[in-house]
Structure 1
């Protein structure tokens, strides 16, 4: 069988279903990237086979591999962002909201370690990642305004916190045999030392 031949022939999409096919391509790419944990080894032909279409059909939606990787990571980032936003909004105080935001991000990473590696180690441009940073900055600013965090420039503090969290999550993936403490404990130390957060006592 030619490498360009889909494993199972696919019926053409009905008129107006092009967006559905685009999402199916992204879903297939996300599954593969999660398993590979490296976008450099992603094959558009393999993605096409998984969706039962020809490689030329992929190019109708994505100009090249990088474009597909960026679109896939955008979807993943949106999912992680929603989990963090929902967790923050569900808490009764800014301090607990910021903590919940960090823990929700970590939970998503635990479920999708390969995708997280691609998100932060790929050379493909991903400007949408700035949204997560902006949301963290806003959450820190709320803590400062409420008087539960050390006053200062929220963006600078958010950058420090983001660096610590991303580095810690990446290390946990790449060096799992280190004697890692429970993530909530480490996150609390980051929040106390970097943000000056006074976390309410928890039962």
Structure 2
């Protein structure tokens, strides 16, 4: 049905209706290639030229949909930090919030993060402000507290984001693999990454692996001796 002519000054409302319709079609079809400007226009009840008054092309429309999608991620990552007993817990919960978010709407997550990115696009800006900035803030706190070794917080935040995205992307693209409890799986991986940052400066990374393992076991022993020494 043709949409009634909107009153003057209601362009922002139409823009939101276009974004809502595009989101619905993406969720229904599961693929960006199945969504066209014409199908969006039909869903809203306007002509295709009306869409182009708000978005230059389909890529711009999809960018806007994904950017709005990641604004919700920003809220969830902020909430994840509330009430946590330590900054390490904040970082782990932020990573879990990211994975949960992807699992809620896997189609949108796939389109937003696993397609061809464009530097400077709305979705890149939204992702940087939601996921990256929150994780970097937690990493900066851990460095100040002396929990993480001194260094570039940007690099460490990128590594933690890579871990969260890696889990999210695999779960979304290959849900049939034997993940077990996905949230528990994600938490173990995130915990391992956090602990790795904590101990990385304590170990000589150029030493043979068995020497580093023996040293770490010794540090973890209650009385400071290695397992081999305890058995002897």
Q: TM-score range by the shorter chain?
A: 0.7 to 0.9
The partner residue of 2:128 within 121, 130, 133 is: 130
Q: Please, which runs of 5 or more residues in structure 1 have no aligned partner?
A: 1-7, 199-203
**TM-score, normalization by structure 2:** 0.75
CA-atom RMSD in angstroms: 2.0
Summarize deviations over 1:69-103 as a string: whole Å, max 9, x none: 00001000111121111221343432222222122
Query: Hey, what does 1:114 align to over in structure 2?
Result: 107
2:49 corresponds to which residue?
A: 56
TM-score (norm 1): 0.84
Give, in angstroms, the shift of residue 191 of structure 1: 3.2
What is the aligned partner in structure 2 of residue 191 from structure 1? Answer: 190
Return the offset for 1:31: 1.6
Contact 1:144/1:151 (CA < 8 Å) preserved in 2? yes
How far residue 175 of structure 1 moved from its aligned partner, in angstroms, is: 1.1
Q: Distance in 2 between matches of 1:15 and 1:29?
A: 23
Cα contact 1:97–1:139 (8 A) shared by 2: yes
Displacement over 6 Å in runs of 4+: none
CA contact under 8 A between 1:99 and 1:188: conserved in structure 2?
Answer: yes
Higher Rg: 2
In the TM superposition, 1:1-203 aligns within 5 A as: 8-125=1-118, 126-128=123-125, 129-131=127-129, 132-196=131-195
Q: Distance in 2 between matches of 1:150 and 1:184?
A: 27
How many angstroms apart in 2 are the aligned matches of 1:46 and 1:92? Answer: 49
**How many residue pairs were aligned?**
191
Q: Per-residue displacement from partner, 1:101-136 (whole Å, max 9, x unpaired)?
A: 122222221110000000112225232122221221
In structure 2, the CA distance between the partners of 1:183 and 1:139, relative to structure 1 (3 Å rule), is farther
- What are the Cα deviations for residues 10-52 of structure 1, in whole angstroms up to 9, with x where unaligned? 1111222110110110111112222333323321111111111
Tell me if the contact between 1:133 and 1:158 (Cα under 8 Å) persists in the aligned partners: yes
Alignment gaps of 5+ in structure 2: 199-232
Q: C-alpha separation between the residues in 2 aligned to 1:49 and 1:65?
A: 15
Does the C-alpha gap of structure 1 residues 37 and 166 become closer, same or farther in structure 2, counting only changes over 3 Å?
Answer: farther
SS of the residue corresponding to residue 160 of structure 2 reads helix
Q: Which residue of 1 aligns with 2:222?
A: none
After superposing the two structures, state which structure 1 stretch, 157-166 or 29-38, moved more.
29-38
